Amino acid sequence: MRTIKYILQKEFAQIRRNKTMLRMIIMLPMVQMLILVFAATYDLKNVDIYVVDQDLSDTSRGLINHFEASPFFNIHDASFDLEDGMNQLKKEESDFILVIPPDFERSLVREDEADVQLLINAIDGNKASLIYQYTRNIISGYNKQVIMHWKGLPDFNPPMRVEAHDNYWFNPELDYKWYMAPGILSILVTIIGMFLSGMNLVREKEMGTIEQLNVTPIKKWQFILGKLLPFLVIALLDLGFGLIIARVVFNLPVEGSLVLLFGFGALYLVGVLGLGLFISTVTETQQQVMFITFFFMMIFVLMGGIFTPVESMPHWAQQLDRLNPIYYFIRIMRMVCLKGSGFKDLFEEFVSLTVIGLSFLTLAIWRYRKTS
Amino acid sequence: MMKENDDKSGLQTETVTDDFSTKRIPVISVKNLVKKFGHFVANDHLTFEVYKGEIFGFLGANGAGKTTAMRILCGLSSPTSGELTVGGYDVYKQAELIKRNIGYMSQKFSLYEDMTIAENIRFYAGIYGLSRQQRKEKEDLLLKKLGLEPERDKLIASLPLGWKQKLAFSVALLHDPQIVFLDEPTGGVDPITRRQFWDFIYEAAAEGKTIFVTTHYMDEAEYCDRVSIMVDGRIAALDKPDNLKKQFNSEDMNGVFLQLARGATRTD
C-alpha cells in the first residue's frame, strides 16, 4: 500500500507540472458540455416545406396556415409545379412537399374525405418519420377543426371521440438536453480517463524511465493501480465539474443519490482505465496508444446508446453491447439523474460493470511485463 | 583526485597477488548464457563470474551484446538458455528477489525530468521500501556529497548532464544494493565529471559493493579490476587489464580492444 502511495505522489507531482494536461482537464468538460449538448439535438425544428396547392380553396389555405403556425415548419416555397418541388427536394432546399390536389375541398364536402400527398426526403430515416408524425398531428388537428366547423359551433352534442392524453415521465418537457447531457458527460469522463492513463504509461516507455521501475521490486499490481488511481480521481473530478455545468446551464436534475452516481463512476472508470492501461502495455508509442484507444472509443460510443437507442439495434448488436462499459454507464447516468434510480434498480448494471472492470484490470496487470 | 587514484592503484597491486577465482566469492555466475532474437544470436554462450567487491568492466563495440547481457542479469530481459545466478538468486525463478539486491543505472537517463531532485529521491526511496527516517538520512548525505543541497527543489530537467548522471548513480545506490549495474554511465559527459564519477564507483566498491559496468571508453577499462571484451556476441577475452595488455603486447587497453575487435563482423 505504501508503494502505491509513492506512485500516486509521483504521478500527481508530474500532472501538476504538465500545463497542457491541466488545461485539457479543465477545458474539455466545459467545451463538451457547452457545445455538444446544444448541438447534438433530436428536436425537429425548421423543417422546410414546399407547398403545391392545386386547389387554392379556403380549406386548402386553412391547412397551409396550420403548418405555418407550427413552430416546427417553415413554408419555404410554393408553386403549382410538382417538378419544381421535386428539384428542390433533390437539392435539399426543402425537406418535404405537401401536395394538395385540385379537388381537395370538393371531395371533402361531397365525400367527407379528401387526400393530400406528402413527399418526404428520407435520407435521414429518423428525421423523415418524425416529420411524418408531426405532419399527421397537424392534419388531424385541422381535420377536427373542419368537422367542428361544418357541424356548426357551438355544438352541445360534440362528436364522440377517443383522445389520448400524454404525460411524459422523467423528462416532462421533453428537453433533449436532459437526455444528452448525462450521455455526453459519460463520454467525457471516458476520454479523460482512458487517454490520459494509457498515454501516461506509454510515455514512461518512450522516456525510458520504465526500465528503472522494472529493476525495482515493485509489484505489477502496485504499478498498474498506481497508474490507474490518479486518472480515476481526475475523471471523477471532471464528472463533478460536468454535473455542476449541467446543473447551472441546463438545470439538469440529479434525482438519485450523488454518492451512488460517483460510486458507479468509479466502478466504471476502473474498467475503461484498465482497458486504457492494457492497451498501453501492448504498445510502444503514444501514437499507437492514441490510435487503438480511438478505435475502441468509436465503437463504444456509437454502440453506447447516446445517439441511437440500443433497443432499436439488431439483436446481435444488443448482445455485443453487454460487453460495452459505456452502454451501462450512459444508462446509469440517465437513470440516476432523471429517474432517481437506486442501487436496487441498477443491480444488473452493477454486476456487469464489476465483471468488465475486474476483467480489464486483471488483463492490464497480467499483460504488464517487467521482463521482456 | 589523483591521490585517490593512486590509492586505488595501490589497492590493485595488492589484489593482483590474490587469485580471484579461488579466494573471491562469486556474486554473479553465468554459464552458457544464450540470448536469441529470432535468428539473431545476441549472446552466444557467455560464461563468466563476477566476484564480490570487484569492478567488472564489460566492454565491446556497439552491437556486441553487452547491454543485452546486462539487461538479462538485471531481470529486464529473459535469457534463451543458460544458468545464471545474481546475488545467489536464480535469474529465472527469483527475479524479484534479485531486484531487491541490485542497483541499475541505464544509458537512457532514468530520473524523472519533470520532478525535483527531492521528489525523485523520495519516490525511489519509497519504492524500495525505505522508512521516512532512512530516506531523510540518505537524502541529506547524498545531496551533501554531491553538493546539490541548494538545488534540492530544482527540476531534474534544469540540471547539467554530468550532475544528472551522478545523481542517478546515487539514487541507484539508495537502497544499499550488493551489486550495481551501470550501463555506459559516463556517456556524453566531460572528462572531469567522468573522473569524479569513477571516484564514486571506487567508493562504492570499497564498501564491498560489486560494480558491473559497460563502457565505450578504453581509459575507463583501465580502472576496472577485471574486464571482459565482447566481440560478436562472444566473450573474446577476460582478465585483469594488466594481463590483457601483456597478452596482446599493447601499451594500453585501446590496443587490446582494437586487436580483438578487428575481427568483428557486426557493427551498428
Instruction: Please name each of the domains of chain B with its CATH number.
Output: 24-261 (3.40.50.300)
Contact list, A17 vs chain B (CB under 8 Å): 114-115, 155
- Residue in A2, A7, A212 nearest the CB of B104: A212
CB contact under 8 A, B126 and A372: no
CA distance B16 to chain A (A): 33
A interface test, pick of B110, B153, B156 with most A CB neighbours within 10 Å: B110
**C-alpha closest to that of A234 among A24, A77, A4, A42:** A24
Decide if A261 is inside a domain.
yes
Q: How many domains does chain A have?
A: 2
* pLDDT at residue number B5: 44
- Assess if residue A2 is contained within a domain: no
> In this structure, are A214 and A339 located in the same domain?
yes
Looking at the complex, report in whole angstroms how far the Cα of residue B261 sits from the nearest Cα belonging to chain A: 29
Q: What angle do CA A65, A69, A72 make, to 5 degrees?
A: 120
Using CB atoms, pick whichever of B76, B128, B155 lies closest to residue A371. B76
Indicate yes or no: CB of A371 within 8 angstroms of CB of B124: no
User: Per residue in B193-222, pLDDT tens?
Assistant: 889 899 999 999 999 999 999 988 888 888
| Domain presence at residue A165 | no
Q: Which residues pair with B49 in a beta bridge?
A: B29
Quick check: B126 and A213 CB within 8 A?
A: no
Give how far A353 is from chain B: nearest CA, Å: 32
Give A-chain residues touching B112 at CB under 8 angstroms.
Answer: 10, 14, 209
Chain A nearest-CA residue for B119: A10
Q: How far is B82 from chain A (nearest CA, A)?
A: 17
Q: Which residue of B has its CA nearest to A12?
A: B115
Amino acid present at A68: E
| Beta-carbon pairs below 8 A across chains A and B | 81
Question: Which residues touch B248 (CB under 8 Å, ≥6 apart)?
Answer: B237, B255, B256, B259, B260
Is B109 in Cβ contact with A13 (below 8 Å)? no
Question: What single-letter amino acid sits at A159?
Answer: P
Taking an 8 Å cut-off on Cβ atoms, the answer to whether B75 and A10 are in contact is no
Cβ of B126 and A6 within 8 Å?
A: yes
Sign of torsion over alpha carbons B201, B148, B111, B195: negative
Give the strands of the sheet with B81-86, arranged side by side.
B40-51, B26-37, B81-86, B89-90
A4: nearest CA in chain B? B127
Claim to verify: residue A218 and residue A120 sit in the same structural domain: no
Q: Which residue of A has its CA nearest to B155?
A: A17
A140 found inside a domain:
yes
Residue B29, C-beta contacts closer than 8 angstroms, at least 6 positions apart: B49, B50, B83, B84, B85
Q: Domain for residue A52, yes or no?
A: yes
Q: How far is B78 from chain A (nearest CA, A)?
A: 6
Query: Are residues A65 and A190 located together in one domain of the fold?
Result: no
Regarding whether A264 and A128 lie in a shared domain, the answer is no
Whether residues B123 and A6 touch (CB distance < 8 A) is answered with yes
Same domain for A18 and A74, yes or no, is no
Same domain for A34 and A51, yes or no, is: no
Chain A residues near residue B115 by CB distance under 8 angstroms: 10, 13-14, 17
**Which chain A residue's Cα is nearest to B72?**
A371
The verdict on A57 and A34 lying in the same domain is no
pTM: 0.81
Partner-chain residue, chosen from B109, B127, B155, that has the shortest CB–CB distance to A3:
B127
Q: Are residues A228 and A145 both part of a single domain?
A: no
Question: Helix, strand, or coil here: B197?
Answer: helix
Mutation pick from B78, B99, B121, B127 vs chain A, by most beta carbons of A within 10 Å, is: B127
Q: Are residues A197 and A229 in the same domain?
A: yes
The alpha carbon of residue A364 and the mean position of all alpha carbons in its chain are separated, in whole angstroms, by: 29
Q: Do A214 and B75 touch (CB under 8 A)?
A: yes
Q: Mean pLDDT, chain A, as a whole number?
A: 87
- Look up the domain containing A86 and give its range: 47-151
Residue type, B43: N
Asked if A212 lies within 8 A of B110 by C-beta distance, the reply is yes
Picking from A14, A211, A214, the nearest residue to B112 by CB comes out as A14
| CB-based contact B76 A208, cutoff 8 Å | no
Phi, psi of B114 (to 5 degrees): -95, 20
Same structural domain for residues A139 and A184?
no
Query: Same domain, yes or no, for A115 and A57?
Result: yes
Contact B112 A208 (CB under 8 A): no
A-chain residue closest to B76, CA distance = A371
Report the chain B residue with the minimal C-alpha distance to residue A18: B114
**Are A28 and A56 found together in one domain?**
no
Ranges in chain B, pLDDT < 70: 1-23, 109, 263-268
pLDDT at B267: 56
Q: Where residue A127 sits, what CATH number does that domain have? A: 3.40.1710.10
State the smallest CA–CA distance between residue B187 and chain A in angstroms. 16
Q: Centre a 10 Å sphere on the Cβ of residue B93 and count the other Cβ atoms it contains.
A: 8
Whether A168 is covered by a domain: the verdict is no
Q: Is residue A160 part of a domain?
A: no
Residues of B with CB under 8 A from a CB of A: 74-78, 95-96, 99-100, 102, 104, 106, 108-115, 119, 122-124, 126-129, 155, 181
- Ramachandran bin of A173, using left for φ above 0, alpha for ψ from -120 to 50, beta for the remaining angles: alpha
Question: What does the angle CA A133 – CA A135 – CA A141 come to, to the nearest 5 degrees?
Answer: 105
- Of A91, A120, A151, the last residue of a domain is A151
Identify whether A163 is part of a domain.
Answer: no
Cα separation, A360 vs A365, whole angstroms = 9
Q: How far is B232 from chain A (nearest CA, A)?
A: 22
All three cell numbers of B45, joined, read: 554462450
A213/B102 Cβ within 8 A: no
Mutate to test the interface with A, among B112, B173, B184 (most CBs of A within 10 A): B112
Radius of gyration of chain B measured on its C-alpha atoms = 18
**In a structure prediction context, what are the per-residue pLDDT tens digits for chain A, which is 372 residues long?**
788 999 999 999 999 998 888 898 888 888 888 888 888 776 677 888 999 988 888 888 888 888 888 888 888 888 888 888 888 888 888 888 989 888 888 888 787 778 888 888 888 887 888 888 888 888 888 888 877 777 665 555 555 666 677 777 777 766 778 888 899 999 999 998 998 999 999 999 998 899 899 999 999 999 999 999 999 999 999 999 999 999 998 888 888 899 999 999 999 999 999 999 999 999 999 999 999 999 999 999 999 888 878 888 899 989 999 999 999 999 999 999 988 898 999 999 999 999 999 999 999 999 998 887
Q: What is the pLDDT of residue A276?
A: 95
The 3-state secondary structure of chain A reads CHHHHHHHHHHHHHHHHCHHHHHHHHHHHHHHHHHHHHHCCCCCCCEEEEEEECCCCHHHHHHHHHHHHCCCEEEEEEECCHHHHHHHHHCCCCCEEEEECCCHHHHHHHHCCCCCEEEECCCCHHHHHHHHHHHHHHHHHHHHHHHHHHHCCCCCCCCCCCCCCCCCCCCCCCCHHHHHHHHHHHHHHHHHHHHHHHHHHHHHHHHCHHHHHHCCCCCHHHHHHHHHHHHHHHHHHHHHHHHHHHHHHHCCCCCCCHHHHHHHHHHHHHHHHHHHHHHHHCCCCHHHHHHHHHHHHHHHHHHCCCCCCHHHCCHHHHHHHHHCHHHHHHHHHHHHHHHCCCCCCCHHHHHHHHHHHHHHHHHHHHHCCCCC
Nearest-CA distance B93 → chain A (Å): 12
